[in-house]
Amino acid sequence: MDQSLKTTCLHDDHIALGAKMSPFAGFDMPIQYSGIIQEHNAVRTAAGMFDVSHMGEIFVDGPDAEAFVNHIFTNDVRQLAPGGILYGMMCYPDGGTVDDLLVYKEFESGFLLVVNASNIEKDYKWLLDNAGGFEVEVFNDSESWGQIALQGPKSEDALVKLLGLEELRELEFYTFYDLEDEEGGRVIVSRTGYTGEDGFEIYASPDNIRDMWASLLEDGITPCGLGCRDTLRFEAGLPLYGDELSPEISPVMAGLSMFCKFDKPEFIGKEALMKQKEEGVARKIVGIEIKDNAIPRAGYPVETEDGTQVGVVTTGYHSISLDKSICFALVDSAYGALGTPLWIRIRKRVFPGEVIKKRFYKTNYKK
């Protein structure tokens, strides 16, 4: 292993399980244990668990916490009840994306921002740089927390068994409970995830997370790597920062304007995003299906029939759950309408396809 890589609190457990490890966002992370297809299917049909301890936890508190979060966040936290969660983005003034994140409204005061591992330092600096004029404290507490994502139709049963709390069944989608471990340490359980299935994300101290991982393993929950985390989120139509969102790809271009609340008085990027929404964008993220088993990969050209390049694949797979070759692609908006024929160049050949809805897989959230 490259010694400059960081490790999560579960690193030894991954090695002991024989995981295939690879660098991701500066961490040495498990890509797969038994195999991506088996792990993917475990989440779709039963339950799987992911080490997502690399994700960032940034706390915002103080008298102006709500105003500050609403200033840097595209969604609107004003109507959010304590224990509620919102998905949205932080944007640059030009509408480009700093990161996509979850915002948890704390029961006492303040907010927890859960951000992508690859962006922790950048986001923290962005928050500090934009906190001028607000009476807030911004604290990057990422190293104090481990995190497990428990996902799949059987995850509710597994969670109740793990924590011994029947009340967890009542937890609603995009809300969280605050619990305490035996030593008085904080445990956060939210009904959220990144797979398109019902599921939970558990935040706790590294020691506690290791104990929970061991208990879940003993309970027969399938350990799942980042390989199937990507195939699952992709099928569910969810973007990955760096692929479908970036400084060059705004939430409007990514088809995520429902998470931008233009009726807020202001937020960073509002004017640019509103203009994109009203006047249309030059390029947008679409779904494309090709009628062949060849696999469109990130970077492959998207072309018209005469061979003119009009876009590029951002993520693509032969979908495990749907058994067809599909991808997200960033294309010229003129070619973005559903049903538009497009061709994808894969090595020496071009394969015909057409634009389809991005939510490839029918999600099974518990609402």
Partner 1 sequence: MSRIIEGLLYSESHEWVKVEGDLAIIGVSDFAQAEMGDITYVDLPSEGDEVAAGEEFGALESVKASSELYCPVSGTVEAVNAELEDAPEKVNEDAYAAWIIKVRMSDPSELESLMDAAAYAKIAE
- Smallest Cα–Cα separation from 300: which of 282, 323, 320, 325? 325
Q: Which is nearer to partner 1, 68 or 300 (CB)?
A: 300
Distances, alpha carbon 194 to alpha carbons 28, 144, 354, in Å: 20, 22, 26
Alpha carbons within 13 angstroms on the beta-carbon side of residue 78 total 11
Q: How far apart are CA 107 and CA 253, in angstroms?
A: 34
Q: At closest approach, how far in Å is the CB of 236 from partner 1?
A: 16
Q: 54 Cβ partners below 8 Å, 6+ apart?
A: 6, 8, 24, 25, 27, 29, 117
Q: At closest approach, how far in Å is the CB of 321 from partner 1?
A: 12
Q: At closest approach, how far in Å is the CB of 180 from partner 1?
A: 39
Angle at 235 between CA 88 and CA 304, to 5 degrees: 95
Q: Which is nearer to partner 1, 250 or 319 (CB)?
A: 319
| 8 Å CB contact between 70 and 161 | no
Q: At closest approach, how far in Å is the CB of 312 from partner 1?
A: 16
- Smallest Cα–Cα separation from 97: which of 117, 79, 77, 122? 122
Q: Which is nearer to partner 1, 146 or 225 (CB)?
A: 225
Q: At closest approach, how far in Å is the CB of 363 from partner 1?
A: 20
The binding site for partner 1 (CB under 8 A) comprises 20, 31-32, 35-37, 40, 227, 230-231, 293-295, 297, 317-318, 320, 346-347
Q: At closest approach, how far in Å is the CB of 36 from partner 1?
A: 4
Q: At closest approach, how far in Å is the CB of 201 from partner 1?
A: 24
Q: 191 Cβ partners below 8 Å, 6+ apart?
A: 171, 172, 173, 174, 175, 176, 198, 199, 200, 366
Q: Which is nearer to partner 1, 36 or 60 (CB)?
A: 36
Distances, alpha carbon 74 to alpha carbons 39, 42, 78, 121, 260, in Å: 34, 34, 12, 20, 5
